[in-house]
Amino acid sequence: MIAQIKSKEKKVQIGCGLGCLGFLVVGGILQLANPSRPGTTTPEPSNSPTITTPAESPHSASTRKHIVGTSWFGCRDRDDLSKLISYAAQGDREAFSRGLAEGVADGQCTVFKDGEEVVLTDTAIFSGLVKVRRVGDTEEWWTNIEAVK
């Protein structure tokens, strides 16, 4: 019994030590990433807006993707997409086909073409979904993250 208690105390001490070490490492990284040294000043922000064109944007290359494959679709509303995905997961091809056809007919869903260039506009972390828009278009569509590369 005493050996078990000592073993648990040792695990708690090791866990705390690792947690504290992790906290210090993260703090050090943050300090290196944003150093503030005495005697230095941070420049004041300008009142004039900075305009960057898509070619100059640091994010433009990383957000442009392509649709990979011929069976991908998207919906304006995330819930509509989830409903269609659930029909497919349940193996109900008739409900899936009807739902997708109705969505496309009323403009709430779309079918992507293989190789189509899209811009990544949003990511729903842990859901496996992303929001994209076709290059040159303003309409945005939720689709499966596996559809884009």
pTM: 0.59
Residue 128 tokens read as 């496996």
pLDDT value for 17: 38
pLDDT value for 120: 97
Of 80, 12, 87, the residue nearest 4 (C-alpha): 12
The confidence band for 125, taking pLDDT boundaries of 50, 70 and 90, is: confident
Mean of the pLDDT values across residues 81-94? Answer: 98
The confidence band for 32, taking pLDDT boundaries of 50, 70 and 90, is: very low
Q: Is 130 exposed, middle or buried (0-12, 13-18, 19+ CB in 10 A)?
A: buried
Cβ-count burial 63-74 (b if 16+ within 10 Å, e if not): eebebeeeebbb
Tens of pLDDT, residue by residue over 90-114, are 999 999 999 999 999 999 999 999 9
Does pLDDT of 45 surpass 70?
A: no
Percent of the chain with pLDDT over 70: 58
Spell out the domain ranges in the chain.
1-34, 60-147
Of 69, 73, 68, the residue nearest 111 (C-alpha): 73
